[in-house]
Structure 1
Amino acid sequence: MIPKSFLCLLLGSFAILPGHTAEVSNDLDWPAQTRETRPWTRWWWLGSAVDRPNLTRQLALFREAGIGGVEICPLYGAKGYENRYLDFLSPGWMEMLDHTTAEANRLDLGVDLTTGTGWPFGGPWVRKEDSSAKVILKKMDASALDGLKEPAKKGTLQCLIAVSEKGESLDLTAKWKDGRLDWTVPQGTWTLYSVWQQSGIQQVKRPAPGGEGNVLDPFSMKALDRYLGKFDEAFSNYKGAPPRSHFHDSFEYFGATWTNDLFAEFQARRGYDLRSKLPALFGEGDPDTMARVKGDYRSTIAELHLAYIQRWTAWAHAHDSLTRDQAHGSPGNLVDLYAAADIPETEIFGSLDEKLWPMLQFASSAAHLKGSRLSSSESFTWLGEHFQTTLAEAKPAADILFLSGVNHVFFHGIPYSPAEAPWPGWQFYAAVNFGPQGGLWRDLPAFNGYLTRCQSILQSGAPDNDVLLYFPMDDLFHQADDLLIPFTVHNAEAVMAKHSFYQTAHALTEHGYTYDHVSDAFLKQASASSNGVSIGKTNYRAIIVPRCRVIPHATMEKFAALARDGAKVLFLDATPEDVPGLNDLEKRRAALRTVVRENKDRLSIGSDAVAMLEKAGVPRETATDQGLRFIRRTHVRGRHYFFVNRGKEAVNGWVPITVPAKSAVILDPMQADRTGLARIQTDNQGAKIFLQLEPGESCIVRTFTTDTVAGRAWDYDEPAGGAKTVDGTWQVRFIDGGPELPGPFQTKQLLSWTVSGDVEARRFAGTALYSTEVQIPEGANEWILDLGRVCESARVRVNGKDAGVAWSAPFRVHLGTLLHPGNNTLEVEVANLAANRIADLDRRKVDWKYFHEINFVGKDYKPFDASKWPERDSGLLGPVKLVPVKKREP
């Protein structure tokens, strides 16, 4: 039975329910904001040195800034504060968790919790036999038995096989006793193949006090059960609300390649004894046999880790919580692994290259296929160097996540820091710090508003992707290289970039097709329908099978069955010619040949995925030809499009869409009140929407299939004359920040305040108020303020009235009619980053980096030192212009 406290938590947020549709009171409005439409943050509890007043204070700051929830991640602490440390899961620690969930619920915030400290799972209660393990494969001539001493020092013997030059095989495992092999080598040449298990190969990374110890075996449900028993014990007397969800970080069980029951599990799952094929596992013999044995080994490991994640999710459900999992990095089928959690989570680590998109879309694909409303992301990790990353740089990263199907952003992140800690407070070693002392806080609410409005749309309705793209895991597993193939987000180039799967994914995106990856397991649920192919309540127009040599015969039979029922199943280049694995090989090969032969006329084959889709009647969104990228979702009366101009040129014209639409609304996620009816042209092929998007800008288009909606028209920017440069005298006054407020100054030439002549301005981090008078002529009554270059974000007031916040390119604010003919007062509050102040601390050798373990490093993971940083431009640099506009006629 779910406790009342947990129901309150869920009802106060958006409960994670499939098919949830956010209602709007007006066709031109945004959906209601909730704790889950707002961005969340990872919240590092350094040393778990937390207390009630500071927890409450920081949670209140989060809520005020527009953050919707936290994920608690305990880790190493700050030096000098050791007397405040709380051991993880101790009674005192559980009291702080109770206080946190109660205060969060009061403030309408959610709380998630890592199932451990640092990462990955592990701790002092993990016994060596339950710890992560690697396999040591040792091959040697039988005449050199001393060679067994080396692996024996590191591990425990799992198997020892002697093979003669004639192919004779002897199992000598039982003859290894007390570090000696009781065996006389027969005549002839014999080779020994030994398999050793080395356990306890990794310690928890960045552990909190009470969390230090062995990393858990990620392939053992028995070990997981014993590990979770510690949490059962800690929570047995806990009276607070349970976490909304438990969290598992990306697969960083480094070197884990074995588990206690591997041989037994392999035989049960693959149908033969791996010990009988050791030379192939060692990479010897017939290349095809070697690839099949290694593929079977990889499949076994993949299934064991999937069972591990499924068991963890079942445990969380039994404790009235959900799960969030970062499956990337795992040596298994990412679609299935992400789907094993309630909220699949991807991540961006530095790079914003579009080559990452297919990897990012594994998480959202899993959410779409299983009917989960949320797909989350660890966001902005190492997007830039500490104290040098801007909100303007965070926007394109957020947009990439949204375009890939993410709709539940987590900042990475914000460290807990007590009020009394001197500036810049407690810091985590990995950027970007989105907290009060990270340099982005003043105008973070504006960024959060953008994220919230986007997510309110992207969490509503249902996904509306065109294509299922088959993920041929077995084909990848048949690569005869390293033992395991980890599918990480950021080294996809090394594993998948040359495969047809990855190349096809990019081609689909570039040519305006949206897709979800699909696994063999999810294909079992697929059915053909009048709309194409359905998995659960999600429909697709076609399935694309990238070029792959091997495929399970059961999957090929499913493709054939779908094709017989009318689905469009499109094979690139050729149908697969072989099956994976070694057991019952000829029987399965024959089954594959039969299904291909009997369904030859139903299976479409071609060399160009885009051409095949067009021939199959699946239209593409040609908006991509104009540099636009998009994602599309349904709502009860039409579609939602999220468009981003990722091109280098402005879009100012008609943008075709493939869905029928009688009317449409444009919503600007940068400004909540800027919505209106779009100009639209309709025909039998779909519709065209008139859009104006500068490079980097984004918008929401809400279409209505059969309804003609009423309301105000969208304000298209039609120039009403030349731009007016604001070239008067600016009064500049510093209003907030430190270490000291520089003196005021005035200027006609807008330059960085670091060159104002005031030594304090050179090291200042904070906000300055720029004000000037502007004369407006009679005539044009609507204006756009173009601030030019802003370092780094700006709040605008006109005649004492708030006009908006400019925090991202093109740094423009729609002023409407706030300006009037005659004299007007223009005020711009500009906040810079913390970089100059940090550089000053390092030049003066102030000790602000006082953290245990890794302490504080830069993006290159070397000790952080900002003392040689050049002074970073700060303030309003302009040129500032006023652009008169008029409403474009419908």
Structure 2
Amino acid sequence: MFVILFLLVMALGCAPEKKQSELNLPVENNECRPWTYWWWMGSAVDKENLSQLLETYNKAGIGGVHVIPIYGVKGDEERFIDYLSPEWMEMLQFTVTEAKRLGMGVDMSCGTGWPFGGPSVSVEDQDARVVIDTFEVEKGVNFINKFEIPLQALMAYSDEGEVVDLTEKVSGDGVINWTAPEGNWELFAVSQRFSRRDVKRAAPGGEGDAVNPFSKRALMNYLPIFDKAFADYQGEMVRCLYHDSFEYGGDWSDDLFDEFEIRRGYDLRKHLPALLGRGADDYVARIKSDYHETKSDLLLENFIKPWVKWSHEKGCITRNQAHGSPGNILDLYAAADIPETEIFGPSGFEIPGLRTNQEFHQIFHNTPPNPLMIKFSSSAAHVAGKKLVSSESCTWLDEHFQVSLSQVKPEIDQLLVSGINHVFYHGMAYSPADAQWPGWLFYASTNFAPSNSFWHHFPELNAYIARCQSVLQSGKSANDVLLYFPIYDVWHNKEGMRLGLQVHNLDKWLFDTPLYNTAKVMWNRGFTFDYISDRQLTDAKVAGKRILMNDSEYPVMVVPDCNKMPVETLENLKELAKNGATIIVLKDLPRDVPGFGDLENRREQFRTTMAELKPVDTDLPGVRQADIGKGRFLIGGNIEEMLSLVNISREPVADAGISFIRRTHKGGYYYFLTNPGKQALDGWVNLGVKAESAKLFDPRSSRSGIADLQVGEAGAPQVYLQLQPGESCILQTFTNKKINGTNWNYLHVAGEPYEIKGEWSVDFIEGAPVLPSGFETEQLCSWTEFGDSTTKNFSGIAKYSITFDKPEQQADDWLLDLGKVCESASISVNGQLLGVLWSFPFRIDIGDVLHEGENTIEIEVTNLSANRIAEVDRRKVPWKKFYDINFVDISYQPFDASGWKPMNSGLIGPVNLIPCSYQK
């Protein structure tokens, strides 16, 4: 049971009184705090600036940095340091030492820019694409040709189905002289060529070709440059080495034919027309499926796993972005110590008042950040028993200089509820003290560096994330359902040679699939789940009736409607059921095996295994059951009905539009809950777990109290929750324990809001390019509408002051609602600093400090840097002087803010006092 009320008539959020005790959150460490990508432009770093910047970051609440050397700044070439040179290694060692002194951590990319590659990569080890040239030859014609590029195969196919291998007939200098026998023939010449993918955004000393990610030889030839560079390294190692998302351009390796035959059991050279899409649709799709699976195997077994092993030998752990690759991203994420996702662009939340850039919204509306994509990385971690799941966070969230902290928070909240617990900002560029504002900047927004005006209140966001992540890094994941990822249905595709599972093309491989539709229903209805791959499933065990995956336990597994499934996977599911597990199959059992090799034998094995499952009708219409051993298969079409049938509880808070994640602690559960929608929650909510008592915690303010708990009609525990749009909280439940302490104060509207009117004094106290003159006004609006051009160009802080009489109405408490704020504000009442409002809702409890009679409020508001950069560009200041891509906007055109109109800045209001009561 829950109640949803609109903004002006509902209770006003989880606002506890000032005297409440602190909730005992898990102890924070530097991994709880947010980290940041840290671009070293030209590797033009020095010890003085490194130390100063790390101290600045640390004071703001940053837990660590990820060093990525990239292109440099024009005019500063004398500062450039070649990658992995002795001087570069000295700077790295100094960075790690300084970070350790400050209690911070350091990661580094295994190369400059991205992807792996550089000057040491040979022609043989380059990222490569397959090239298949065809030649038609009629009967009796003598075909003579010289191939300029070494061939890996030359195959002749007749119109009668005969296949002849001509590879050995090609001379050492690449010449073929062959006379066609009976029939019409087509020759297929296979070679590989450089994909033209070089290291993107490379740093000095790191320029060169990308390495071939399907070749173990290429990897093992690449890594020795790091062995050599670190041979004389005396300091502590970086914590983590990093591999970015799959942005290689290739699809082939020179040993792919051999690897394919070993793994798939047949010679791909005899099926080359299928690679070009020729043949019956099913036949072509089966050959392509085997090709995709082979690339997945090579990427995992010849690249990621050997790199992880090598990193461990160096004393480092690894972070890997698996998305974008043609492989099974669940396996590739899980192979690293820390799987990492990314979010790109705005999500388009419906939080009232949240600023949305319509241009960005249109660009990203097809594939905005999606929690069901994000969950691939967190699922891999949960299933593989990995503690941390990281994220490249807020890339291109909005145009440069236009991102506010209030825009960042809901994106971070969505990451957290999707299972991320190790946030990396994207990001900050190293910028020396002598760099003219805005300093050295990376081209892909968002800029989280000190040059951003929001830095003044940035520590508030960092502290918020640290509190949340301290919870989300503790205990264990508490998801109920394992959801099978039918990768072979993705790979069974007759189109094209490249099939990357990107975050930007979900419409190509995820949307509208049975997997996505099933996951979406479960997400929206409050069921908790993790994806699992075929390979991961081989490690599953059963204890009692629960499926064990390392540290995680799952009461049930769900197989979405699935066409292709390997015999081995079907056998694994059968064994799990025999040992006591429940396997839910949606719609119907899988229909066939994937791939082409040994097809009829595999089909026979599939049919034999399937025959052991003898589903019969149950009393529930449309539901069949196949008992096997200690467990069972349940087959039906309605996922919610099927989960209810096996007593999987959902979390009804999802019905109110609340997103959440749940983890265990020793005495119960932690919930992180956030409201990304346009309606507020105010009411009793059923919990999906047992609870004798519970605490609430506000991660923005650190306040806590004992939550109201009762037993609902069906015997389930109910907790009273209040969440405004944009608001979040942590709930800690205790399964068998009554806790003592101060109760959480639930605030409820007790009358009409009282608008604070009168003359506001506005004084500009800090910022640039110049401090405007102050002014007085009785009508709040953007400060850009007052004064001269100095207010229109100003970026910084203005203090709003007003004196007013406390309303005569009696109330248990008073909330100060600031209305529209551009962009964040600190609040003082009667000389007492109460806090900072930097995200929605922009309201704060001030009842304890209000006096009878006259009161004074001071509100210091910080705006964006947008108006300042527009003035800089109008003066044509030459700050955009970077090599490579230089500095671009979201359309990847040269950035130019000179035509921008002044963006709203300051306190716009209306500012209201809202009387509240503690009674429900």
TM over 0.5, yes or no? yes
Q: SS of the residue aligned with 1:279?
A: helix
Say if 2:178 is the partner of 1:183: yes
Other-structure match for 1:844: 875
Supply the distance in 2 between the matched residues of 1:30 and 1:814 (Cα, whole angstroms).
Answer: 23
* Aligned counterparts, 1:605-624, within 5 A: 605-624=635-654
Match for 1:780 among 786, 811, 824?
A: 811
Q: Is the 8 A contact 1:781 1:817 kept in 2?
A: no
Pick aligned residue for 2:594 from 556, 564, 580: 580
In the alignment, structure 1 residue 741 sits paired with structure 2 residue 771: yes
Counterpart pick for 2:246 among 245, 248, 251: 251
Task: Kindly indicate whether the alpha-carbon contact (under 8 Å) linking 2:308 and 2:317 is maintained by their aligned counterparts in 1.
Answer: yes
1:287-302 correspondence runs (5 A): 287-302=281-296
Deviation at 1:216, TM superposition (A): 0.5
User: Cα–Cα, structure 1 residues 543 and 355, in superposed 2: closer, same or farther, change >3 Å?
Assistant: farther
Worse-matched range after superposition: 45-54 or 497-506: 497-506
Separation in 2 of the partners of 1:846 and 1:625? 52
> SS of the counterpart of 2:454?
coil
Q: Does 1:164 align with 2:194?
A: no
Residue aligning to 1:276: 270
Q: 1:824 is matched by which residue type in structure 2?
A: N
Q: CA deviation at 1:146?
A: 8.7
Matches within 5 A, 1:483-632: 483-530=497-544, 532-600=546-614, 601-602=626-627, 603-632=633-662
The correspondence for 1:668, drawn from 677, 683, 698, is: 698
Do the aligned residues in 2 keep the contact of 1:388 with 1:833 (CA within 8 Å)? yes
Q: Could you say which residue in structure 2 is the equivalent of 1:344?
A: 339
Say whether residues 1:710 and 2:710 are aligned partners. no
Range moving further from structure 2, 567-576 or 529-538:
529-538
Identity of aligned residues (%): 49
For 1:657, give the aligned amino acid.
L
Q: What is the alpha-carbon distance in structure 2 between the residues aligned to residue 389 and residue 146 of structure 1? A: 64
Given candidates 349, 361, 384, the residue that maps to 1:370 is: 384
Cα deviations by residue, 1:172-196 (Å, 9 ceiling, x for unpaired): 1122332432212234311111211
Counterpart-to-counterpart distance in 1, 2:508 and 2:597: 29
Larger deviation, residues 520-529 vs 78-87: 520-529
SS of 1:71's equivalent? strand
| 1:777 to partner: Cα distance | 4.5
Q: 2:117 and 2:750 mapped to 1: Cα distance?
A: 65
SS at 1:829 equivalent? strand
Q: Which amino acid aligns with 1:808?
A: S
Residue 782 of structure 1 contacts residue 819 of structure 1 at CA under 8 Å; is this kept in 2?
no
**How far, CA to CA, are the matches of 2:381 and 2:765 in structure 1?**
46
Cα offsets for 1:244-293 (capped at 9, x unmatched)? 00011100002x11012111111111111111222222222233222221
Is 1:28–1:711's contact at 8 Å kept on the other side of the alignment? no
**1:227 matched residue in structure 2:** 222
Answer yes or no: is the 8 Å Cα contact 1:356–1:492 preserved in 2: no
Aligned residue identity for 1:507: V
Counterpart among 794, 807, 816 of residue 764 in structure 1: 794
Q: How many residues align?
A: 860
What displacement does 1:147 show? 10
Measured against aligned partners, the alpha-carbon deviations of 1:386-439 in whole angstroms (never above 9, x if no partner) come to 001111111111111011100100000000000001111111101000001123
The alpha carbon displacement at 1:507 in A equals 1.1
* Cα displacement string for residues 28-62 of structure 1 (whole angstroms, at most 9, x for unaligned residues): 22222210100000000000000001001110110
Tell me which residue corresponds to 1:399.
Answer: 413
Letter in 1 for 2:579: D
Aligned residue identity for 1:512: G
User: Using the alignment, how far apart are the partners of 2:453 and 2:126 within structure 1?
Assistant: 40
**CA separation of 1:91 and 1:147: change in aligned 2, threshold 3 A:** farther
1:516 Cα deviation from its structure 2 partner: 0.5
1:69 and 2:49 correspond = no
- Opposite residue 867 of structure 2, the aligned amino acid is N
Q: Aligned AA for 1:171? A: D
What are the Cα deviations for residues 672-727 of structure 1, in whole angstroms up to 9, with x where unaligned? 1x211101113564311101111121111100001000111112112343322111
Amino acid at match of 1:879: P
- Residue by residue over 1:231-253, the C-alpha shift from the partner in whole angstroms, topping out at 9 and shown as x without a partner, is 00000001111110001110000
Contact 1:531 1:539 in 2 (8 A): no
Paired residues for 1:38-117 under 5 Å: 38-117=33-112
Aligned-residue offset at 1:27: 8.0
Query: Does the CA-based 8 Å contact 2:337-2:386 persist in structure 1?
Result: yes
1:818 aligns with 2:865: no
Q: How does 1:844-863 map to 2 (within 5 A)?
A: 844-863=875-894
C-alpha distance after superposition, 1:578-598 (max 9, x if no partner): 111222222211111122111
Contact 1:660/1:682 (8 A) holds in 2: no
CA contact (8 A) 2:142 2:178 kept: no
Q: Which runs of 5+ in 2 are unaligned?
A: 1-20, 349-367, 615-625, 628-632
Instruction: Decide whether the 8 Å contact of 2:211 with 2:218 is kept in 1.
Output: yes
- Report if aligned partners of 2:114, 2:199 keep a CA contact under 8 Å in 1: yes
Matched, 1:32 2:27: yes
Give the Cα–Cα distance (whole angstroms) in 1 for the partners of residues 296 and 791 of structure 2.
57
Instruction: Judge which range, 111-120 or 293-302, deviates more.
Output: 293-302
Residue 268 of structure 1 aligns to a residue whose secondary structure is helix
CA contact (8 A) 1:48 1:209 kept: yes
Distance 2:715 2:382 in 1: 27
Superposition TM-score, scaled by structure 2 size:
0.91
SS of residue matched to 1:713: coil
1:193 aligns with one of 188, 192, 216: 188
Secondary structure (helix, strand or coil) at the match of 1:655 reads: strand
Residue of structure 1 equivalent to 2:756: 726
Q: Is the 8 A contact 2:143 2:180 kept in 1?
A: no
Residue of structure 1 equivalent to 2:115? 120
Query: Would you say 1:688 and 2:718 are equivalent positions?
Result: yes
| Aligned residue type for 1:837 | R
Whether the 8 Å contact between 1:140 and 1:147 is mirrored in structure 2 is no
**Distance of 1:168 and 1:495 partners within structure 2:** 35
- Structure 2 residue matching 1:847: 3-state secondary structure: coil
Q: Secondary structure at the match of 2:151?
A: strand
Secondary structure of the residue aligned to 1:312 is helix
Question: Which consecutive unaligned segments of at least 5 residues does structure 1 have?
Answer: 1-25
Distance 1:145 1:767 in 2: 82
Q: CA deviation at 1:666?
A: 0.6
- What RMSD in Å do the two structures reach over aligned CA positions? 1.7
TM-score (normalizing by structure 1)? 0.94
For residue 767 of structure 1, give the secondary structure of its aligned residue in structure 2: strand
CA contact (8 A) 1:138 1:195 kept: yes
Whole-angstrom distance in 1 between the partners of 2:82 and 2:608: 62
- Tell me the CA shift for residue 531 of structure 1: 5.1
| Letter in structure 2 aligned against 1:333 | N
1:648 CA drift (Å) = 2.0
C-alpha distance in 2, partners of 1:614/1:249?
A: 40
Q: Distance in 2 between matches of 1:617 and 1:148?
A: 69
Give 1:148 shift.
6.5
Q: Which amino acid aligns with 1:409?
A: V
Question: Partners of 2:898 and 2:142 in 1: how far apart?
Answer: 58
Which stretch shifts more, 818-827 or 567-576? 818-827
| Counterpart in the other structure of 2:448 | 434
Letter in 2 for 1:638: G
Q: Matches of 1:428 and 1:724 in 2, distance apart?
A: 46
Structure 1 segments of 4+ aligned residues over 4 angstroms from their partners: 143-149
Structure 1 residue 887 corresponds to structure 2 residue 918: yes
User: What letter corresponds to residue 696 of structure 1 in structure 2?
Assistant: G
Say if 1:29 and 1:675, in contact at 8 Å, map to a contact too.
Answer: no
Q: Distance in 1 between matches of 2:417 and 2:346?
A: 15
Distance 1:809 1:565 in 2: 50
Task: Give yes or no for contact 2:399–2:890 (8 Å, CA) kept in 1.
Answer: yes
Corresponding position of 1:835: 866
**Does the 8 A contact of 1:49 with 1:84 survive in 2?**
yes
SS of structure 2 residue aligned to 1:817: helix
Partner residue in 2 for 1:7? none
Residue 831 of structure 2 is matched in structure 1 by 800
